[in-house]
Amino acid sequence: MIHQYDVSLGLTLDLAALLSSDHCLKCNICTAACPVMAVSDVFRGPKAVGPQAQRFRHPRLPVPDDSVSWCSGCGTCSQVCPHGVQVAEINIQAKARLAEQGHVPLRDQLISRPQLLGWVARPVAGVANAVLRSALTRKLLDGLFKIDKHAPLPVFKSQTLRSRLADHCVDEPSTTLNLDGHVAYFHGCSAEYYEPELGEITVRVLETLGFKVVLPPQNCCGLPLQSNGMFQAARRAAHANIEKLGPFVRAGMPVVGGSTSCTLALKHDYRSILGVDGREAQALAEATRDVFEFLVWDEPDRLDQVELEPVERKVLYHAPCQLRSHAIGMPALNVLRRIPGLEIVVSESACCGIAGTYGVKSERYPVAKATGEELFRQAIGIGVELVVTDSETCRWWIEAHTGLKSVHPIEVLAWSLGLVSGPASV
């Protein structure tokens, strides 16, 4: 992998992604597929601000225009490019250069640190949640920080996943145990601070299927920092995770995560966007799996050995953008289709619109909402009872705009395995 270090901006970039712009033939397939371009005239499109503009960007000169800042980073452009141009990666790196040229707003500094926010709010979670539910608070946040008053915010929890599963937390793999069947669970910030119940369910499902789950030391994957252009902080998060997870990878454990954006960061973004290189980064990328990728492609026999009980519900399954970027298909859909009684409608939309922290910003909120309108109309129009999707921010966003409960597919599998109460209680 080739890297370029920009001394003037202090950024290490993946030069391979930038050089891929030479393969762009201006076919505009990426432009036609871009969910933001479809609803906004402000964004000039992934081709125009990506490979086309990259040819005129000097590494020592400022990025000439800020239209690239409207890219949501969904990755659709890279997925559809028939010539292998890393369009999304080029745009994300340009956004980082743009951020480094100016002042990163305090808002972006805050919303990019879900681990810090969750840790600070944990002791006063109930009060913090009540304050954030206040219309006055949301109006103030909108006016002062440009955090849109309509955008859904995560709910803080008073107890973390690691405190709930303290007996699963290990500092390093034991050299005295047979580590066959062991799985290192990368829970990320969401399951640790905002959805610890989901983290527990994930661990219970894996253990029911015969795996021994451990919670290794870890920190935020760094994706929110990366998305907001703070590459230096994102690279520190990447190096920290590579170091903490390294002993488990060297012991032969798969690193399994339930958040498709977190696992994509470990698999792809560290090297292809942040320019983090080396054998340890490569090893972590090769060891990382989405939980359903792991169950369907790596360990298919495990599900064959259990009996799945009926779940009599009609659901809409939406594959998040970050999952599509894994290029692994829709393994969760493969599992859901095995569950008796479950009527599944597949989403017709490429993107729900939220794109992590993108839709939280007041100036981006209308574009993000418009991007998701097709999905919202489909979910409401076909009369489903639940929306199932693998990404936490997608779930929060879809719930806020449809009024429908949204769950992770691992929860539906847990209902069918009889591990937790079914959808009648949600």
Mean pLDDT, rounded, of the chain = 91
Q: pLDDT by residue (tens digit) across 293-342?
A: 999 999 999 999 999 999 999 999 999 999 999 999 999 999 999 999 99
Residue 225, helix vs strand vs coil: helix
Is the predicted pLDDT of residue 2 greater than 60, yes or no?
no
Q: Where are the alpha helices (DSSP H) in 85-230?
A: 87-101, 106-111, 114-121, 125-133, 135-145, 161-164, 188-189, 196-208, 223-227
Amino acid at 420: V
Is the predicted pLDDT of residue 18 greater than 70, yes or no?
no
Q: Rounded to an integer, what distance in angstroms lies between the CA atom of residue 353 and that of residue 225?
A: 19
- What is the predicted pLDDT for the residue at 94? 85
Q: pLDDT by residue (tens digit) across 231-246?
A: 999 999 999 999 999 9
Beta bridge partners, 183, equal 213
Is the predicted pLDDT of residue 21 greater than 80, yes or no?
no
Q: Rounded to an integer, what distance in angstroms lies between the CA atom of residue 157 and that of residue 193?
A: 6
Q: pLDDT by residue (tens digit) across 64-89?
A: 678 888 989 999 999 999 988 888 88
* Percent residues over pLDDT 70 in the chain: 92
Domains, the chain, with CATH or none: 3-101 (1.10.1060.10), 305-425 (3.40.50)
Is the predicted pLDDT of residue 8 greater than 60, yes or no?
no
Which range (92-106, 108-122, 340-354) has the least confidence? Answer: 92-106
Q: Rounded to an integer, what distance in angstroms lies between the CA atom of residue 373 and that of residue 289?
A: 31
Q: pLDDT by residue (tens digit) across 40-65?
A: 888 888 888 888 887 777 666 666 67
Q: Which residues contact 194 (CB under 8 A, 6 or more apart)?
A: 114, 118, 154, 155, 156, 157, 392
Strand 255-257 to 313-318 pairing: unpaired
- What is the predicted pLDDT for the residue at 291? 98
Q: How many CB atoms sit inside 10 A of residue 329's CB?
A: 15
Q: pLDDT by residue (tens digit) across 158-181?
A: 999 999 999 999 999 976 566 789
Q: Which residue has the higher pLDDT, 54 or 367?
A: 367
Burial class for 280, CB neighbours closer than 10 Å (0-12, 13-18, 19+): middle
Residue 93's pLDDT band, with cuts at 50, 70 and 90, is: confident
Q: pLDDT by residue (tens digit) across 107-161?
A: 999 999 999 999 999 999 999 999 999 999 999 999 999 999 999 999 999 999 9
What is the average per-residue pLDDT within 387-408? 97
Q: Rounded to an integer, what distance in angstroms lies between the CA atom of residue 71 and that of residue 88?
A: 8
Q: pLDDT by residue (tens digit) across 254-265?
A: 999 999 999 999
Q: Which residue has the higher pLDDT, 292 or 103?
A: 292
Is the predicted pLDDT of residue 11 greater than 50, yes or no?
no
- What is the predicted pLDDT for the residue at 63? 67
